[in-house]
Amino acid sequence: MWSKLRMIKTAIANKIYSPILSAITNKMKITKIGEFEELVLLTVIVLQREAYGVAIKKELEERIGNSISVGSIQSALKRMEEKGFLTSHFGEATAKRGGKRKRIYSATPAGHSVLARMKEIRAGLWSSISDLSPGFSFG
Amino acid sequence: MKEQPPDPRPPQWPLSFMRWAIREDYLEEIEGDMEEVFQDNLERYSLKKTKRLYTVETLKLLRPAILKHFNPQSFVPPTAMFRHNLLISYRGFLRNKTSFLINLIGLSTGLACTLLIYLWVADELSVDSFHEIDPQLYQVKLHIQKEENIQTEDDTPALLAQAMAEEMPEVEAAVVINADFCKPEGILSHEGQIQASNGLFASSNFFEQLSYPLIEGNTAYVLSDKRNIVLSEDIAIKMFLSAEKAMGKTLTWKFQFDGETFEEIVQVAGVYEDPPDNASLQFDAVAHFDLLIKADRWAGHWSGSYAKTLLVLKKDTDIQTFNDKIGDFLFTSSQLPWRKNSKVFVQQYSQQYLHGTYENGVQLGGRIVYVRLFSIVALFILLIACINFMNLSTAQASTKMKEIGVKKAIGASRRELIWQFLSESMLMAVLSFFLAFCLVLLILPHFNELTDKSIRLVFEPNVLISLAGIVLFTGFVAGSYPAFYLSGFDPISVLKGRRSSSAGEQWIRQGLVIFQFTLSVILIVGVLVVKQQMTYIQTKHLGFQRDHVISFLMGNSNKAPALFLRELKQIPGVVLASNMNGNILSGYDNQSGYSWRGEEADKKFRFQAPRIGYDVIETLGMEMLEGRSFSREFNDGTSHIIINETALQLMQLDNPIGTTIGYGSETREIIGLVKDFHYGSIHRQVEPLIFRFRNGGRDILVNIQAGTEKATISQIEDLYETFHPGFPFSFSFLDQEYQQLYEAEERVAALSGYFAILAILISCLGLFGLTAFMAERRSKEIGIRKILGASIWGITRMLSLSFTKMVLLAILIALPIGYLIANRWLESFAYRIELHWWLFMIAAVTALLIAWLTVGFQTYRAARIDPVLCLRDE
């Protein structure tokens, strides 16, 4: 009974509060994305229609050169989905997955903009470094 | 490429763990991912390594974002449901104040009764169990084969202990204490300080083996010398201000037993803590057993039974085998032919307080009967109170139906609803418990007075556990039926408002009321029978007069009783005064060895054989049927005896007066025949009795002119003091003493009376609540009936009828059960009342009247209602 009540509450929360809430929070923590999350988000965009858990994991492992656990990929995906950087839908099921369906992720406009913003911040920082070249002295 | 293993499935337990731990909506995706990774790994690594990797990966899944329980939205504090239930219960209490109060009063009274009985039972069970060696401590007893039955006695020869300790390998130690009849009662004096004492003779290892801790002195030596005495802390403080100061002091000890007085100079060698309240042996001075032998040489012989023998048996001794082995021990050790009838056996020392009654050699209860009886009564009362709760909550089902319907409709499971109702009844039980606790604190002093105990509320872990157990039990029993019943409603019909109480539910509710009243009626019958029997015993003519007769013991042994008696008779208020050996009410004097046909077989018969002086028969107003009583004019001596009717029947003498019968090598002449009277307990039949003549008895009986008791007794006291300086004058009225003999029964009678009243009150409380509720629910029906012309009387009758039927049925069930129980109880009395029909009639009528009063008030009020008031809302 309690779980039913909770579901009603959740539904109400999702329909009414969360757009408002997410509008506010989006404004507030628009740049709030972790480093690993950023990598995962980028990978999702790279992989396009093939962006599901294992594919992302393989792609990143190849690029980083280290093994990454399913757990860390999944938790990053879920967090970003909650923050509104990602959306997802179920894809096809394969025998290799024991008949379980894939979940295909794609970046939302918010995801794209957060990436762009991160890139901008970094580029700004880098350019600041090139301005102050190593040979510069205060003398 | 490696060979494909036959079953490339992920390991089972990490999979199950994952399914349990991961949020349901993520599970399919993550499980798929894991499986895919597993299959990938399988191509690269061995199956074993793959499985291990899978397990490691599973553990790495434990992240807040994907776990079930760490998701903040799904987290419910575990107390939420509980708080919700409490709130609902609280609102329920506020809404139905009457039934809440009825439940509270009923349950708390019931619980208070149960608590009191629990305390009493726990106290009874704890008696004598405080000895450290309790599991090994046994008392030696004797089954003595008599002509007609087997009698069981505690008294053994003092020599038995040592003999058993020496010859039986199972015996670690043997302790001797005096038998009850030679208990040294007397006074201790030290430089003018006088203190009455109730002493004990014991063997020197007494303090070593039993747990009476010494404050001063060494357990091994305190009783090593027969000139030593060990005092209780109480006596030591009273006489010497402290235990320490008492050590080494010299005392004069004057003590009496069996009508004789002795005087000894003794030295204080130790002080022990006062025996605890739950010790059956209470004594304030302990002296060496040899002093008893010195006072009465038969105490040290095999033929005298002056001692109680306690054995400390080795651990793991099989008592059955041991008892088989020692059966003839007394006969073989003593070499006395007449000891052949005595079969020796042991009983655990702490058991004999509760299991002390033997009949014909078989253990037959004892106080344990009362312990069981009251435990059952406690359970009954608690059940009756719980039934009130059940009935009221199911009766109010209609008011709860909507709540249940709504809860079920939004997904409440039956289990959750059961919990809700159980927590309501638990809350009720806890509230009532606190009230009951306060009640117990208030009542306890009176209860102690009533039961002659000194029970205190001590919060030891086991007590607390028991109390918690009682509360949980009450909550569960009271709540179980409503919980299972109410939670079973069909939500659709409930919300449509179609549900009406089914026949089955009615049946159960009525059944419960019937059960309640059955218990109550049984209790009423029980109380009536007990009361009747007690009145019967108290007013029964014992064959002698016990009103206005006082008895006391002569103090100083130097003075002959005859002179004292002569002086006594000079006092104006004294009708008659006489002396005898031992007490007429609790007498134990007996003898065998008489022969009236000149046959050896006669000698086996045992007669009660009190030793009396002149005028005892007249003082006690006994009736002489033939012949005469002992008289100075005939110069009666030991060769003259008086027999009672039962003895005459046994001997079958045609012309008893003047007949001479044999006693050993001597002869005895019967000079009188006395009407049967009771010598000793009324639990026994009147036995054959022979009065022997002795002029030196020190138990004085004085028959006092009615109405002059106070003045006469003070004069007797003055006379006593001039004759026996230094001895306290303590007398008792025979009728009061007689009552004390039946104290246990008296207490049971009083207690069961109170409990029966409470039981019926609690039952009526429930009935009251039920009627009130019924009347309210049927108010529309009553309104319509009144409009159509029904009279108040007619409606009252209609409403009362169903309750009357229930109570009548309960009476019908209860009376036979009550009859059986009462009959069983009465069987323990040799003289008992007849179970007349009117006794049961009274119980039935009482129950019915009380029920009618309860119901009548409510129904009359309901019937008087203005029909406009109850019909206007539609």
Q: Tell me the pLDDT band of B259, cut-offs 50, 70 and 90.
A: low
Bridge partner residues of B689 (DSSP): B608
H helices of B540-665, where?
Answer: 561-570, 616-619, 645-651
CA distance B75 to chain A (A): 10
- Look at residues B391, B371, B393, B372 and name the one whose alpha carbon lies nearest to residue B515: B391
| pLDDT for residue B396 is more than 70 | yes
Can you tell me the distance from the alpha carbon of B198 to that of B286, in angstroms, rounded to the nearest whole number?
A: 9
Residue found by looking up tokens 């449509």 in the block? B496
DSSP state of B598: S
CA distance B83 to chain A (A): 13
Decide if A74 and B32 are in contact by the 8 Å CB cutoff.
no
Q: Tell me the pLDDT band of B2, cut-offs 50, 70 and 90.
A: very low
Nearest CA in chain A to B405: A1
Can you tell me the distance from the alpha carbon of B146 to that of B360, in angstroms, rounded to the nearest whole number?
A: 9
Provide, as residue numbers in chain A, all residues whose Cβ is less than 8 Å from the Cβ of B40.
54
| pLDDT for residue A139 is more than 50 | no
- The predicted model gives B337-354 an average pLDDT of 85
List the single residue in A5, A52, A70 with the smallest CB-CB distance to B410. Answer: A5
Decide if A54 and B416 are in contact by the 8 Å CB cutoff.
no
The residue ranking higher by pLDDT, B544 or B309, is: B309
Decide if A4 and B65 are in contact by the 8 Å CB cutoff.
no
Both tokens assigned to B209: 């083996």
Decide if A1 and B80 are in contact by the 8 Å CB cutoff.
no
Decide if A98 and B33 are in contact by the 8 Å CB cutoff.
no
3-class DSSP state of A34? coil
Can you tell me the distance from the alpha carbon of B293 to that of B162, in angstroms, rounded to the nearest whole number?
A: 15
- pLDDT value of position B395: 75
3-class DSSP state of B261? strand
Burial code (b: 16+ CB inside 10 Å, e: under 16) for B293-329 equals bebbeebbbbebbbbbbbbbbeeebeeeebeeebeeb
Decide if A97 and B411 are in contact by the 8 Å CB cutoff.
no
Nearest CA in chain A to B9: A98
List the single residue in A8, A70, A82 with the smallest CB-CB distance to B37. Answer: A70
| pLDDT for residue A60 is more than 60 | yes
Can you tell me the distance from the alpha carbon of B388 to that of B512, in angstroms, rounded to the nearest whole number?
A: 9
In tens, the pLDDT along A75-131 reads: 899 888 888 899 988 888 888 888 888 899 999 998 899 899 889 999 999 888 876
Decide if B32 and A75 are in contact by the 8 Å CB cutoff.
no
Total number of residues shown for chain B: 874
Can you tell me the distance from the alpha carbon of B241 to that of B656, in angstroms, rounded to the nearest whole number?
A: 63
- pLDDT value of position B533: 82
**One-letter-per-residue 3-state SS of B278-312:** CCCCCCCEEEEHHHHHHHCHHHHCCCCCCEEEEEE
List the single residue in A1, A75, A78 with the smallest CB-CB distance to B411. Answer: A1
In tens, the pLDDT along B477-531 reads: 888 888 887 787 777 777 776 555 566 677 887 888 888 889 888 888 888 888 8
Instruction: Report the residue of B4, B24, B26, B30 to disrupt the A interface, i.e. the one with the largest count of A CBs within 10 Å.
Output: B30
Taking chain B, what is the end-to-end CA distance rounded to the nearest angstrom?
Answer: 87
- Alpha-carbon distance values, B57 to A92, B15, B37, B573 (Å): 24, 11, 10, 108
Both tokens assigned to B199: 């002493």
The residue ranking higher by pLDDT, B359 or B270, is: B270
B193 backbone dihedrals φ, ψ, rounded to 5°:
-75, 125
DSSP state of B75: -
Inter-residue long-range contacts of B49-53, CB under 8 Å, 24+ positions, other chains counted:
B51/B10, B51/B11
Q: Are B769 and B98 in contact (CB under 8 A)?
A: yes
- Alpha-carbon distance values, A105 to A56, B63, B74, B278, B462 (Å): 10, 20, 24, 80, 63
CA distance B395 to chain A (A): 25
- pLDDT value of position A23: 54
| pLDDT for residue B280 is more than 50 | yes
Can you tell me the distance from the alpha carbon of B112 to that of B110, in angstroms, rounded to the nearest whole number?
A: 5
**CB pairs A-B closer than 8 Å:** 93
Residue type, position B670, single letter: I
Total number of residues shown for chain A: 139
- pLDDT value of position A17: 55
Decide if A54 and B33 are in contact by the 8 Å CB cutoff.
yes
Q: Are B578 and B569 in contact (CB under 8 A)?
A: no
Both tokens assigned to B30: 């993550």
Decide if A72 and B63 are in contact by the 8 Å CB cutoff.
yes
Decide if A70 and B33 are in contact by the 8 Å CB cutoff.
yes
| pLDDT for residue B592 is more than 70 | yes
Q: Tell me the pLDDT band of B436, cut-offs 50, 70 and 90.
A: very high
Q: What string of DSSP letters covers B617-643?
A: HHHTTPPEEEE----GGGT--TTEEEE
Q: Tell me the pLDDT band of B5, cut-offs 50, 70 and 90.
A: very low
CA distance A7 to chain B (A): 9
Can you tell me the distance from the alpha carbon of B231 to that of B273, in angstroms, rounded to the nearest whole number?
A: 9
- pLDDT value of position B239: 86
CA distance A120 to chain B (A): 29
With a CB cutoff of 8 Å and minimum separation 6, the contacts of B838 are none
Q: Tell me the pLDDT band of A137, cut-offs 50, 70 and 90.
A: very low
Instruction: Report the residue of A3, A74, A85 to disrupt the B interface, i.e. the one with the largest count of B CBs within 10 Å.
Output: A74
3-class DSSP state of B235? helix
Can you tell me the distance from the alpha carbon of A113 to that of A120, in angstroms, rounded to the nearest whole number?
A: 10
CA distance A10 to chain B (A): 8
Can you tell me the distance from the alpha carbon of B491 to that of B505, in angstroms, rounded to the nearest whole number?
A: 18
Handedness of CA B670, B671, B674, B678 (dihedral sign): negative
- pLDDT value of position B571: 85
Handedness of CA B606, B612, B616, B620 (dihedral sign): negative
- The predicted model gives B403-414 an average pLDDT of 82
Give the angle subtended at the CA of B318 by the CAs of B315 and B319, to the nearest 5°: 105
Q: Are B773 and B396 in contact (CB under 8 A)?
A: yes
List the single residue in B34, B60, B74 with the smallest CB-CB distance to A72. Answer: B60
DSSP state of B9: P
Which contiguous run of DSSP H or E holds residue B798?
helix B792-826
Nearest CA in chain B to A102: B29
Q: Are B563 and B698 in contact (CB under 8 A)?
A: no
Mean pLDDT over the full length of chain B: 82
CA distance A134 to chain B (A): 43
- pLDDT value of position B260: 67
| Whole-number percent of chain B with pLDDT over 70 | 94
CB contact A2 to B (< 8 Å): yes
H helices of B452-489, where?
Answer: 461-486
Decide if B35 and A100 are in contact by the 8 Å CB cutoff.
yes
Among B128-132, B174-178, B685-689, which is the least confidently predicted range?
B685-689
- pLDDT value of position A31: 52
Torsion region of B724: left, alpha or beta (phi above 0 gives left; psi -120 to 50 gives alpha): beta
Nearest CA in chain B to A101: B29
Residue type, position B256, single letter: Q
Can you tell me the distance from the alpha carbon of B332 to that of B339, in angstroms, rounded to the nearest whole number?
A: 9
Among A56-65, B65-74, B619-628, B757-766, which is the least confidently predicted range?
B65-74
- pLDDT value of position B799: 82
Can you tell me the distance from the alpha carbon of B235 to that of B169, in angstroms, rounded to the nearest whole number?
A: 39
Nearest CA in chain A to B18: A71
In tens, the pLDDT along B357-374 reads: 777 777 776 778 788 888
CA distance B3 to chain A (A): 17
Mean pLDDT over the full length of chain A: 79
- Alpha-carbon distance values, B859 to A129, B403, B635, B864, B873 (Å): 98, 29, 81, 9, 22
Can you tell me the distance from the alpha carbon of B428 to that of B416, in angstroms, rounded to the nearest whole number?
A: 18
